[in-house]
């Protein structure tokens, strides 16, 4: 191989290698190589032909524009190339010369004449091992015969063209993925906009329903019998549940659309925890559960969005109380080297390992007797994790069925 390279005009391979390895768009690399081949082999036309199922098409050619030359048609039937296509599978190079009648297949006569050329050399081109088409060199005036060394050089160069074709294929796939990704983003944006609009539309009548149910419960327009009070209370409970779902859905749609912002401030950790406790304390007492706060040493302040972290803690504490029939619910806060953790630990029913991955998916709830008794939105944990991730943190879970669960909020310091 070294002997072949040395016998060829100096710099041919380095020029082609430079083009192949350049930062040019892959589509712009082929024509310069065809130009180099045309000049070095002293032919007046070089074509890269692509074989397709129905037609063979000119993929690239040099020169791009011809004057006073009858060019090969851009598209022509594959049957003209049937024999050559089959023979190309064994990587054979074919040379046709009209003046010397070196045409191995009579079916090529009409095709070769359509070139209006005397010399035609066809070299099979492969892409990732699969047949792609032919590299064709043709000349109108010359009657030369290509030497074995020249054909060997052409085969080496077609290997480089194969690399470019592979680069083009990869680039096309990347471009297609970018288009699909943009379409997906647009669809997600439209979905989020629609959901946000619908949630706002739902919240307005819900507020009215809750206001009317409150007036009924307070008997502002006259006394109610026990059955009426029961119905009024049912309306209020169902309305609050639906409002919580709407609010969670609205928050989640904002986060997914990258329109949710956090506003961090320095907050006293103990005050943050006690504030969350105050909102679940009554429910814990109702179920005879001990509500415990454990603050580690050096726990003082953290820099967070107070409203959002309080929302996360409230979700975790509410879930723990909901799925704990007896025992306790503990909020343990620890400071580590690069983070602070808030762990909500309960002595409840625990969660099967197979079900744990489902919990952070929207509208996923574990089916058991307590989940059927205490209906939820199915969005609390999903939203909580998203809010934690907005802070650069996360929520993790450890649990054993029948022995309780521990949900831990990790926040960077």
What residue segments make up the domains of the chain, in order of their start?
2-176, 181-256, 265-412
pLDDT tens sequence across 318-369: 999 988 989 999 999 999 988 999 999 999 888 888 788 788 887 666 655 5
Sign of CA dihedral 185, 188, 194, 195: negative
Q: Are 346 and 320 in contact (CB under 8 A)?
A: yes
Domain at 2-176: CATH architecture? 2-Layer Sandwich (3.30)
- 50 by Cβ neighbours in 10 Å (0-12 / 13-18 / 19+) ranks as middle
**Exposed/middle/buried for residue 340 (C-beta within 10 Å: 0-12, 13-18, 19+):** buried
Name the 3-class secondary structure at 139.
Answer: strand
CATH domain 265-412 topology: Heat Shock Protein 90 (3.30.565)
Per-residue pLDDT of the chain (413 residues; tens, 9 = 90+): 444 444 455 578 888 888 888 888 888 899 999 999 998 888 888 999 888 877 778 889 898 765 443 444 444 444 444 444 444 455 566 665 544 333 343 444 555 555 556 667 888 899 888 889 889 888 877 767 888 888 888 888 999 999 999 999 999 999 999 999 999 888 877 777 777 777 777 778 888 888 888 898 888 888 888 888 888 888 888 888 788 778 877 787 778 777 778 899 999 999 999 999 988 998 899 999 999 999 988 888 999 999 999 999 999 999 999 889 899 999 999 999 889 999 999 998 888 887 887 888 876 666 555 554 545 556 788 889 999 999 999 999 999 888 899 999 999 98
Report pLDDT digits (tens) over 132-147: 988 988 887 776 788 8
């Amino acid at each position: 191989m070294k002997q072949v390279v040395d016998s060829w005009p100096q710099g041919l391979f380095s020029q082609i290698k430079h083009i192949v390895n350049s930062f040019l768009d892959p589509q712009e690399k082929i024509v310069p190589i065809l130009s180099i081949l045309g000049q070095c082999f002293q032919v007046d036309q070089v074509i890269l032909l692509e074989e397709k199922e129905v037609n063979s098409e000119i993929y690239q050619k040099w020169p791009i524009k011809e004057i006073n030359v009858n060019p090969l048609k851009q598209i022509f039937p594959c049957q003209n190339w049937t024999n050559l296509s089959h023979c190309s599978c064994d990587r054979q190079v074919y040379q046709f010369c009209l003046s010397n009648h070196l045409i191995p297949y009579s079916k090529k006569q009409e095709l070769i004449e359509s070139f209006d050329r005397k010399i035609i050399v066809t070299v099979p081109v492969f892409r990732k091992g699969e047949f792609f088409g032919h590299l064709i060199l043709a000349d109108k005036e010359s009657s030369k015969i290509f030497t074995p060394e020249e054909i060997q050089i052409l085969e080496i160069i077609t290997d480089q063209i194969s690399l470019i074709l592979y680069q083009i294929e990869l680039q096309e796939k990347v471009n297609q993925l970018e288009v699909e990704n943009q379409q997906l983003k647009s669809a997600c944006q439209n979905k989020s906009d629609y959901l946000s609009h619908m949630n706002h539309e739902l919240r307005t009548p819900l507020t009215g329903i809750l206001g009317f149910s409150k007036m009924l419960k307070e008997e502002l327009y006259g006394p109610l019998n026990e059955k009426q009070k029961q119905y009024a209370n049912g309306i209020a409970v169902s309305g609050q549940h639906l409002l919580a779902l709407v609010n969670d859905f609205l928050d989640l749609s904002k986060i997914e659309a990258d329109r949710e912002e956090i506003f961090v401030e320095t907050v006293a950790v103990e005050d943050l925890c006690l504030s969350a406790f105050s909102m679940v304390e009554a429910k814990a007492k109702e179920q005879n559960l001990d509500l415990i706060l454990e603050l580690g040493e050096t726990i003082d302040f953290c820099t967070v969005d107070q409203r959002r972290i309080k929302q996360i803690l409230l979700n975790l504490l509410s879930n723990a109380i909901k799925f704990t029939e007896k025992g306790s619910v503990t909020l343990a806060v620890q400071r580590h080297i690069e983070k602070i953790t808030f762990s909500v630990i309960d002595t409840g029913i625990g969660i099967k390992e197979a079900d744990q991955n489902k919990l952070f998916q929207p509208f996923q709830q574990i089916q058991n007797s307590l989940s059927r008794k205490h209906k939820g939105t199915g969005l609390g944990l999903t939203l909580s994790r998203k809010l934690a991730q907005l802070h650069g943190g996360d929520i993790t879970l450890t649990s054993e069925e029948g022995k309780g669960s521990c949900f831990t909020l990790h926040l960077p310091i």
